[in-house]
Amino acid sequence: EALGPTITVGEILVEIMATTVGAGFLEPQSLTGPYPSGAPAIFIDQVARMGGAAGIIAAVGNDDFGRLNVDRLRQDGVDVSAIAIHEDWPTGSAFVRYRPNGARDFVFNIARSAAGQVGLTSAAEALVRRAGHVHVMGTALTIPGAREVILYAVETVQARGGSVSLDPNLRKELLTDDGALDSFNQVLATADLLLPSGEELFTAAGSTDETAAVAKLLESGIGEIVLKRGEQGASFFGLGLPRIDCAAFAVDEVDPTGAGDCFGAAYLTCRRKGMEPDAALLHANAAGARNVTRLGPMEGVSTLAELAAFIAATPRR
């Protein structure tokens, strides 16, 4: 951590949730929100809550949706100096409703919101120049301006001896644009830590066997891979190191959104603070599990003390 803060780049959104289970938004219904959201924002808020130095390069509108996000991030200790406030674009939003089978219907306004306007401002450049780690969210690589900032940040921070992590949460369906896929492969080639969940491991490795996919990625130079398995917990893989499996904590899932982001932030922050992989993995599992017990993607972020208390008090699956 001595080298500088952990930074990330990408979408800040509000999330507005249907209060009932069902299919989509074709009839009037009750909604709850706005909640602060956006994968990079949730991630960086969790880093800061744990006491990690943290900053984000992002853009919001000059509206309440933007203000509630920036206020939350600032209050939790995130450096918000590189969040641009746009007069002409509203803050991004995501409406979500769960179906009975757990599938989700979304209405997104990202590309044509302020989030689509992320770019390399002078404040962004200044933050990149003092950063020690860049966390790349796959989702952000679909925003052309964010992609440019990410590639600049990865190069700059690695040149000064910093490190890079990648959450490949970029759905195949979104990979229509060559730029997104090219930049994804560029980041993957230099990442020190990869945090995939489910199918993302196979997409990244181009293989459908877990052991083979992990081996291939480790041999390509990725130092650590931490695989997220939802309510099955998570696993750590390092080149030449024994695999570590971590059972999930037994919790009642209220809202799964944001678990992966909190998990990744907790793992990275523990590692940057000098914790060994097994302890970092345990804290990350706790951060993911704690987050799903709260409604709202960013409402279940944890301090280190909260994680320690949760670990001591909660049985495992």
Site for ligand ATP contains 263 (CB under 6 A): yes
Mark 163-182 with x for binding to ligand ATP (rule: CB under 6 A) and - for no binding.
Answer: ------x-------------
Site for ligand ATP contains 155 (CB under 6 A): no
Site for Mg ion contains 183 (CB under 5 A): no
Q: How far is the CB of 123 from Mg ion (least distance, A)?
A: 28
Residue with tokens 């990442």: 191
Site for Mg ion contains 197 (CB under 5 A): yes
Of 24, 51, 145, 256, the one binding ligand ATP by CB under 6 A: 256
Q: How many alpha carbons fall within 13 Å on the CB side of residue 24?
A: 3
Write the burial class of residue 74 (CB in 10 Å: 0-12 exposed, 13-18 middle, 19+ buried). Answer: middle
Count of residues that interact with ligand ATP, criterion CB under 6 A: 23
Beta bridge partners of 105: 97
Q: Which is nearer to ligand ATP, 89 or 98 (CB)?
A: 98
> Alpha carbon of 294 to those of 70, 264, 315: distances in Å?
20, 18, 18
Site for ligand ATP contains 260 (CB under 6 A): yes
Site for ligand ATP contains 294 (CB under 6 A): no
Site for Mg ion contains 257 (CB under 5 A): no
Q: How far is the CB of 249 from ligand ATP (least distance, A)?
A: 5
Q: Which is nearer to ligand ATP, 67 or 229 (CB)?
A: 229
Quick one: tokens of 128?
């990149």
Q: Which is nearer to ligand ATP, 72 or 283 (CB)?
A: 283
How large is the C-alpha radius of gyration of the chain?
18
Stretch that binds Mg ion, among 28-36, 78-86, 155-163, 168-176 (CB under 5 A): 168-176
Among ligand ATP, Mg ion, none, what does residue 226 contact (CB within 5–8 Å per kind)? none
Q: How far is the CB of 281 from ligand ATP (least distance, A)?
A: 9
Stretch that binds Mg ion, among 6-14, 108-116, 153-161, 190-198 (CB under 5 A): 190-198
Of 6, 139, 169, 269, the one binding Mg ion by CB under 5 A: 169
Q: How many alpha carbons fall within 13 Å on the CB side of residue 48?
A: 21
Q: Which is nearer to ligand ATP, 184 or 263 (CB)?
A: 263
Site for ligand ATP contains 292 (CB under 6 A): yes
Site for ligand ATP contains 269 (CB under 6 A): no
CA 160 to CA 133: how far, in whole Å?
Answer: 10
Q: How far is the CB of 260 from Mg ion (least distance, A)?
A: 3
Beta bridge partners of 85: 60
Of 33, 52, 138, 258, the one binding ligand ATP by CB under 6 A: 258
Residue nearest to Mg ion (CB): 260
Among Mg ion, ligand ATP, none, what does residue 285 contact (CB within 5–8 Å per kind)? ligand ATP
Residues engaged in binding ligand ATP (CB under 6 A): 169, 197, 228-231, 233-234, 248-249, 251, 253, 256-261, 263, 285, 288-289, 292
